[in-house]
Structure 1
Amino acid sequence: MDISFKSLGELPIREVSELWNQSFEGYLVPAALTLDRFIGRIASEGLSLEHSLACYVDGEPAGLVVNGFREHNGRKLAWNGGTAVKPAYRGKGIGKALMRRNLELYGQLEVDQANLETISLNDHAIALYEAVGYKPIDRLLLLSTEQPIPDMDDTYEHPYQIALGMAAEAARLSLYSPGEAWQADLPSLKDGESVAVFDGGEVAGYALYRRTFNSAGVLVGIVLYRLEVAASRTDAKAIMSAALHEVWQPGEQCRRIAFNIRASNSPLVELLTEMGLVTTMEQVLMMRDMK
């Protein structure tokens, strides 16, 4: 069995899209995308086809890995935005060969830290990533509700000040850091919005979210991506409630989703559960130190 690799940047975009759909066939969560949506995902997530790989077995396309790269404070971060092998080639060591070649690519590009997520029920994938040096560091939860959010009191024991803006403005907050969840970082939220909570001029917390509207301009969905509180605060729940009052807009009728919320942020998970959101999916967040 001859295994070889090629940059996805060398292939026509339609061929890459088809390889993506074929490789994710039968996956635990449907991942098939139309060509337009695939192109949109590449752009919105800042993925690099030039530095992503197609895998071939005896000259036939067998799988792929799609990567994204960002820099923060002089460190180069890599994200595995999708690794999959066609059904006919699964169970033959192709995935491990693909991941090993991908880590070689990371080394050539001088990556400092590599992150990825995988469905928590996918024991095979978790074992594969652990075998090549990734370690689980947290769980990521997707919670949602179609029901109205209960009325929230917007008066608080502390006189918080609220500042609304675009997601990109959160980068100016001293509390902000990119974190390990790629899709919850600012470059993935170009049309996102932010809520900053201040107490006496000091930032106490912030939230990043996105609203979607239908063609008539009616709000149909709100997605929360992050809600962080300064570690020194003893009033974390009140700060989170103040931010969520702005994010969720309780008077509106729409779907509400909390996307890839870190399970280790238990106060937030508990508050979202109290508000009626239910966990519908769980991923494992994994990291590999490349240095």
Structure 2
Amino acid sequence: MNIKKLAQCTLDDVLTAWNEGFEGYFVQIKLNAEAFLNRLVGEGLSPSQSIVAFDENNPVGIVLNGFRQVDGKKIAWNGGTGVATDYRGKGVSRAIMEETLEIYKQENVEVATLEVIKENERAIKLYEKYGYEITDHLLFISGEYKPEVSGSLGIKDDLIRPEQLSGLSFYKEDVPWQCGWQSAKQGEAKVFYNDVDKPLGYAIYRRVWNDEKKLDRIVFHQLELLDKEKVEYIPKFIASITTEPVNITTINFSASNPVSNYFIEQGLKVSTEQYQMKKING
């Protein structure tokens, strides 16, 4: 078996490694060239530090890696590990994990992170073998939401760019990779205040429009209450974005986030459950 950096491979080989690597996976994530490149750029993944495994000329495994500074530490994210069906259980996963961890060592990574589907016990055991530990239970929640627009709590909001959140003291940097402002640069952010300008919470989100140019979906990367007890603020936050019924999707919201429980109580459904896992180096 030969392992190459993604930057050294053809796009066709990379796509084969990805799509065959996730064939029969818990969630369908087959990608065409445009979608794969959008993922690579949108998630800040590194072609020079991601890898593809080959059996002779056949691409049989892949790991996508990204790197960021979070809370003053260098963080690595495993943005997808896949092995072709015929090569599972034959040592490919171990080989590409060991190569990945060697890359992290060379890059002086302090914290390695990833997410894994809750039901994927085989992958969880593999990651635990290499020193990863489960640190959070994450939810993708989706469904139609009908905003509550009656009454007022004197909430004001400030529409800003997602990257501006990083300069605010209450912004939560230590979140799953796809929840960070870096993964929502094409989206929007809002900070919510009371009538004396005390911050109450914030949101990072993307609005998705349908062919009739009507709002079809809001995808939340983060929706945070600074006081976790003030759940009555949540509908007011959302009503500042839309007052019309809309589909909502959350990306990797912590199960302990009161917003997650609020959405479930409103009839939205959990579509996917994941665990966040971390490996502390040094």
State the match for 1:151 in structure 2: 148
Distance 2:206 2:183 in 1: 11
Q: Aligned AA for 1:91?
A: G
Q: Aligned AA for 1:188?
A: S
State the match for 1:256 in structure 2: 248
What secondary structure sits across from 2:119 in the alignment? Answer: coil
1:46-61 alignment, distance < 5 Å: 46-57=44-55, 60-61=58-59
Q: Does 1:206 align with 2:208?
A: no
Q: Is the 8 A contact 1:195 1:246 kept in 2?
A: no
The superposition leaves residues 179-213 of structure 1 with CA deviations (integer Å, 9 ceiling, x where unpaired) of 23111101110111112111322322111111011
Q: Does 1:276 align with 2:267?
A: yes
The superposition leaves residues 21-77 of structure 1 with CA deviations (integer Å, 9 ceiling, x where unpaired) of 111111111111011111111111111111011123456432010111111343211
Q: Aligned AA for 1:281?
A: T
Change (3 A) 1:154 1:170: farther
**For 1:19, which of 17, 20, 32 is the aligned residue?**
17
Output the aligned Cα RMSD: 1.8
State the match for 1:169 in structure 2: 164
1:1-291 alignment, distance < 5 Å: 3-57=1-55, 60-146=58-144, 148-156=145-153, 159-199=154-194, 200-230=196-226, 233=227, 235-247=229-241, 249-252=242-245, 254-265=246-257, 267-291=258-282
Distance 1:189 1:26 in 2: 29
Distance 2:168 2:18 in 1: 38
- Of 215-224 and 117-126, the range deviating more from structure 2: 215-224
Change (3 A) 1:4 1:82: same
1:85 deviation in Å?
A: 0.6
Task: Give % identity.
Answer: 35
Change (3 A) 1:188 1:209: same
Distance 1:98 1:66 in 2: 11
1:234 deviation in Å?
A: 6.6
1:235 deviation in Å?
A: 4.6
Q: Is the 8 A contact 2:147 2:239 kept in 1?
A: no
